[in-house]
Amino acid sequence: MSAKRDYYEILGVNRNATKDEIKSAFRKLAMKYHPDMTKGNKELEEKFKELAEAYEVLSDDEKRKMYDTYGHAGMDSRGFDPFSNFSNVDDIFSEFSDIFSSFFGSGFSSRSGRSSSHATRGRRGQDIVLELEITLKEAATGVEKLVEVARHSSCPTCNGSGVQPGFNKETCTVCNGSGQQISRQGFFTISTTCSKCHGTGEINNHPCKTCLGTGLVADKKSVKVKVPKGVDTNTKLKINGEGEAGTDGAASGDLYIVIKVLPDKTYKREGPNLYSKIIIPYHSAILGDDIKIKTIYDKEVILHIPPNTKSGTTFRLRHEGIYDIHESIIGDLFVQVEIMVPDHLSTEEKELIKKLKQISSNKIELKSM
């Protein structure tokens, strides 16, 4: 399989292009590869699909940011499939009809003679986006969570058709089932949406009493979310088919879980690395010590404090940080030492410190800042 071309190169725009510039470039190139013009040329149809994929990513702020950061590999790793809901190039073209309608009129259509407003096939369900809060420890180790999703499911009475059991939708007598009133101008097919069936080509004279003809009913479901180790705030997880139900047997939308990692009292995270502080007694700093500490994984490790350690010294514990899902490496834990000055001393402690002062050879002098 050949490598994918750069999306900006496909549209012929620079990486700082505005949304309007991207839209204009897409419209000009899409006209060149429109199905009416390609006349079944598979190579040109593939060019149109490539063009549509580039536009779908670069016209969406979130997808564009992801692409700019991680490239094609980042999109693929997050399950991006721009054409999963379309059966052919006509369906893809119809998805972008709003761009062309301002140029050719609202009825601009593909070579099949079907406008984008025609909806005889079921409509894929909408995607749902939910935020999930997790702790830093859960982000480090991975976790399973149950998320309650409020959505619309397929009506159990009519199986999503919107029609009472025992009845069927009837063909619209105004458009004879096409959903459109069609005329031709040169190469292009101009159509207007049927005023009676509103483009569906069918009339529902016996709407389901449960869903009132929509094919959908309100529902709630608990969905298990497997959060992998190494996620960070704004990591997006995709759960296929757990979004809104489609109509007339069409596929359900997907559920997207956006991770929010809550602040932690002990650790600060920077990428895969963790940063923390430890307060040690002054005698440990002077004489040295081996101090037991617990990592974010509840693993007990020894932090070796050498003699004459100064306050602010940072020690590095390798591979005790967080897994990096992009680089497949484990970060480090950095521990900064602060020396504790006691608020109260016993008489014996004071006497010992006085003796230390008497024998100390250290001189106090000013130094530049």
Per-residue pLDDT of the chain (369 residues), as tens digits, is 456 789 999 999 999 999 989 988 888 887 777 655 555 677 777 888 888 888 888 988 888 988 888 787 767 655 565 554 444 445 555 555 445 444 444 444 444 444 444 444 578 899 999 999 999 999 999 999 999 999 999 999 998 889 999 999 999 998 898 888 776 665 566 778 888 888 888 999 999 999 999 999 999 999 999 999 999 999 999 999 999 998 877 899 999 999 999 999 999 999 999 999 999 998 899 999 999 999 999 999 999 999 999 999 999 999 999 999 988 899 999 999 999 888 888 888 888 878 877 777 666 667 676
Domain 1-116 and domain 268-359, same fold? Reply is no
- The owner of tokens 């008489």 is 347
Q: Which residues contact 23 (CB under 8 A, 6 or more apart)?
A: 55, 59, 99
Q: Bridge partners of 301? A: 293
Q: Give the type of residue at 362.
A: N
Per domain, the residue ranges of the chain are 1-116, 123-161+213-261, 268-359
Where b means 16+ CB within 10 Å and e means fewer, 205-217 reads: ebbbebbebebbb
Q: Is the dihedral of CA 280, 286, 288, 289 positive or negative?
A: negative
Question: What are the φ/ψ torsions at residue 227 (nearest 5 degrees)?
Answer: -90, 115
Read off the tokens for 4.
């994918």
Q: Which residues contact 26 (CB under 8 A, 6 or more apart)?
A: 11, 51, 54, 55, 59, 96, 99
- What's the CATH architecture for 268-359? Sandwich (2.60)
Q: Bridge partners of 181? A: 192
H or E element at residue 311? none
Give the 3-state secondary structure percentages of the chain, helix then strand then coil, rounded to 5: 25, 30, 45
Q: How far is CA 95 from its chain centroid?
A: 21
123-161+213-261 belongs to which CATH class? mainly beta
Question: What pTM value is reported for the model?
Answer: 0.60
Beta strands in the chain (DSSP E): 128-134, 143-154, 170-171, 180-185, 188-193, 202-203, 216-227, 236-239, 255-261, 268-270, 273-281, 289-294, 300-305, 314-317, 323-324, 329-330, 333-340
CATH superfamily label, 1-116: DnaJ domain (1.10.287.110)
d(CA 111, CA 37): 9
